[in-house]
Structure 1
Amino acid sequence: MNNISTKTLTMKREFNVKPERVFDAWLNPLMMKKWLFTLEGTNKVTQNEPKVGGGWEIVDHRGGNDYRAVGEYLEIDPPKKLVFTFKMPQFSELEDIITVEIKEIPTGCEMTFNQLIHVAPEESWTKADLERVLGEYHDQSEHGWNLMFMGLKELVETGYISYKG
Structure 2
Amino acid sequence: MIGSAVRDEEVLRLAIDARVGGTFSFFVRRGAEELDHVGTYLEIDRPRRLVFTWHVDKEEDTLSRVTVEITPRDTGCELTLTHEMDAKWAEYASRTEQGWGTMLDVLVRAVGQG
Q: What band does the TM-score fall into relative to the shorter chain?
A: 0.7 to 0.9
Corresponding residue for 1:39?
4
Aligned equivalent of 2:92, options 103, 122, 137? 137
Which of 128, 148, 165 lines up with 2:103 in the alignment?
148
- CA-CA distance at 1:39 after TM superposition: 3.1
Q: Provide TM-score, normalisation by structure 1.
A: 0.61
| TM-score (ref. length: structure 2) | 0.86
Considering only aligned residues, what root-mean-square deviation do their CA atoms show, in Å? 1.8
Does the 8 Å CA contact 1:52/1:74 hold for their aligned counterparts? yes
Rg bigger for which structure?
1
C-alpha distance after superposition, 1:66-94 (max 9, x if no partner): 12100000000000000000000212333
Identity %: 31
Q: Distance in 2 between matches of 1:44 and 1:50?
A: 19
Give the structure with the higher percent helix.
Answer: 1
Q: Whose RCO is larger (CA < 8 A, sep 6+)?
A: 1
CA deviation map 1:26-79 (0-9, x unaligned): xxxxxxxxx23x337711111100100000010111112212100000000000
Q: Which runs of 5 or more residues in structure 2 are unaligned? A: none
Which runs of 5 or more residues in structure 1 are unaligned? Answer: 1-34, 121-132, 159-165
- Distance in structure 1 (CA, Å) of the matches to 2:10 and 2:25: 14
Q: How does 1:112-131 map to 2 (within 5 A)?
A: 112-120=80-88
Cα displacement (A) at 1:116: 0.5
CA contact (8 A) 1:54 1:72 kept: yes
SS in 2 for 1:87: strand
Q: Which has the higher strand share?
A: 2
Residue 119 of structure 1 deviates from its aligned partner by: 4.4
